[in-house]
Amino acid sequence: MISAVQKSELKKLQLYVENEKRLLRLSSLPKYSYQVDERTNKIILCYSIPVLAGIKYNNEKIIRRKPKKRYFSEISLDNWNPSLTDRIEEHYDWVVDQNFKAKRVANSDNDDLLYFIELYCQKIPRRKFRIPSDSTLKADKFFLDDYYHWISENVNEALSIYFHIDNGKKLYMQYINSKLMGEITSRWSNNTANSSYTRIRAFFNWLNFKKHDFPYGLLSNLEVAATSKKVGPSFTDTEFAKVYEFINKYKDDNEWGWFVIILQVMLVTGARVSEVVSMNINDIDFISKTWTFIGKGGQERSVKIDNGIVWSSIHKKCTDKSGTLRKDKDFVFHRRYYKQTSKPDRMDIKDILIEDVKQHFTASGVQHKFKKMVKLLSINPKLSPHSCRRFYITQMLVKYNGNIPLVANLVGHKSWDMVRRYADKMVKDSTKQTLDLDEIKNKEFYEDLKRQRDSLTNIIDLDKL
């Protein structure tokens, strides 16, 4: 809350501005006012703009006014006269311009690029009623706003979406090259450039969904920037020994118990953390001890869980005391953990059990816990939950003599390229499987590969490592 002195001085400023607006014959609309930041004593210009708040199911737009603020670091209550008096008309014109641009975006439905960017970045369904997450919207808006700003400064004709049909690829490559070759302090890395490409390409593909005369795949197959082909870290023998000792020590611990079983499953199956935490009871065949699920890229993968300890832990989480499958939950790893008390020195106060059978543990929760384990064990800080998958792949490559197609099939990789990188790094040439390209193209090769996969043990026995 502003002080009495600030309130008095602000009142003088506001009365002066209103009088000046009348003398300058400025319209009362759009409305705006001057306020003060109570902490810094700086002047703030407060106004509002029309924004698209959503789309009704009958395609009617929902327009609302959004409050906005503009801070003036050079104008304070102490120096507003004459610092502000000469700029009242300038500020009025600026607010009018902001409202004009916002109104054009909010009401446009034809070919305005900014309108579609704003619509795309709303928290409303994009396709098939799927609403993007907050993090997705934030990243999309960052890259799309940056692209739009560059277009508005360099190629005014491209403010129409239809300009991009014939010129989109060339225009985007000019933009991305300017980012890769710009000033050192603001120059983009290859990874940032590729992130931009992925999101802007998705935006233009979405335009086909909204405007059927707009082509799909407008920015497909562009070579934007070379990506790093480095394989991330896996466990060394010493590190794995520490992890194995950690598993045995903390498997029944209140703080670590829920994490240990998830860690075991990641190690012995090579599944991604997101796949493990969302493991569904209905995806498990309890007779054959097989877990079948849809992984990244829509790839179906089946894992026979014949590790006794891991299977026993999974079975226990899926059944009640009588051995009957639980009907009160869908996920194997539902949220069940102990919240530590704020007074660990008080032996008479026990940890609090938190349980929610409707929700599973999150991938980010496992990642945070993994980092705590890494710190506790003093092992490579670059290790992550995905290191478990890398560990699994390298173990399978060694176990099956570098058979890249077979291991790629086991872990659900669409292409062999990633597994080949592991082979180049971890498997000796003397054990690497070599394949004839004509044989690979043969349909019988894939059928034989499937028979091999089904007959192999595709799980790691931690006790034998």
- Position 440 scores a pLDDT of 37
In the predicted structure, residue 429 carries a pLDDT above the cut 50: no
> Residue 438's pLDDT band (boundaries 50, 70, 90)?
very low
Token reading at 434 = 């070599």
Q: Which residue has the higher pLDDT, 104 or 40?
A: 40
- How does DSSP classify residue 127? B
- Is pLDDT of 305 > 70? yes
What pLDDT sits at residue 441?
Answer: 38
More confident residue, 165 or 212: 165
C-alpha to C-alpha distance for 217 and 204, rounded to whole angstroms? 8
The string over 234-272, giving b where at least 16 C-beta atoms fall within 10 Å of a residue's C-beta and e elsewhere, is bbeeebbebbeebbeebbeeeebebbbbbbbbbbbbbbb
Highest mean pLDDT among 168-172, 225-229, 433-437: 168-172
**If you average pLDDT over residues 261-281, what whole number do you get?**
91
Query: What domains are there in the chain, each with its CATH number?
Result: 4-107 (no CATH), 116-210 (no CATH), 237-464 (1.10.443.10)
Q: What average pLDDT does the chain have?
A: 81
Q: How confident is the model at residue 162 (pLDDT cuts 50, 70, 90)?
A: confident
Beta strands in 200-351 (DSSP E): 284-285, 290-294, 300-304, 334-339
pLDDT of residue 354: 87
Identity of the residue numbered 259: F
What pLDDT score does 431 carry?
A: 43
pLDDT at site 394: 81
Predicted confidence band of residue 132 (pLDDT cuts 50, 70, 90): confident
Strands annotated E in 122-199: none
Sheet holding 42-55, edge to edge: 32-36, 42-55, 61-76
Residue 19 CA: distances (Å) to CA of 94, 123, 310, 389? 19, 42, 78, 70
Cβ atoms of residues 146 and 121 within 8 Å: no
The predicted structure's pLDDT at residue 439: 41
The answer, yes or no, to whether residue 409 has pLDDT greater than 80, is no
Q: What is the pLDDT, as a whole number, of residue 449?
A: 47
> Does residue 329 surpass a pLDDT of 50?
yes
The reported pLDDT for the residue numbered 345 is: 60
* Distance separating alpha carbons of residues 71 and 68, to the nearest angstrom: 10
Whether the Cβ atoms of residue 336 and residue 360 lie closer than 8 Å to each other: no
Query: Cα 45 from chain centroid?
Result: 35
- The per-residue pLDDT for range 339-350, each reduced to its tens digit, is 876 555 655 566
3-state secondary structure of 271: coil
pLDDT higher than threshold 90 for residue 61: no
Mean pLDDT, rounded, for 47-69: 77
Residue 160: C-alpha distances to residues 113, 165, 206, 300 (Å): 5, 10, 16, 42
Residue 375 has pLDDT above 90, yes or no: yes
What three-state secondary structure class fits 39? coil
Give Cα separations from 454 to 105, 381, 457, 465 (angstroms).
56, 36, 8, 23
Angle, CA 41 vertex, CA 36 and CA 46 arms, to 5°: 20
Question: What residues pair up with 127 in beta bridges, in sequence order?
Answer: 130
pLDDT higher than threshold 80 for residue 457? no
The beta strand positions in 180-299, using DSSP E, are 284-285, 290-294
Token pair belonging to 382: 């670059």
Q: What is the dihedral of CA 121, 127, 130, 136, to 10 degrees?
A: -30
pLDDT at 48: 92
In this prediction, residue 80 has a pLDDT band, given cuts at 50, 70 and 90, of: confident
Strand partners, 101: none
Better pLDDT: 415 or 197: 197
- CB-count burial class (<10 Å; 0-12, 13-18, 19+) for 363: middle
Percentage of the residues of the chain whose pLDDT score is greater than 70: 80
**pLDDT at position 316, please?**
92
Beta-carbon-side half-sphere exposure of residue 281 (alpha carbons within 13 Å):
20
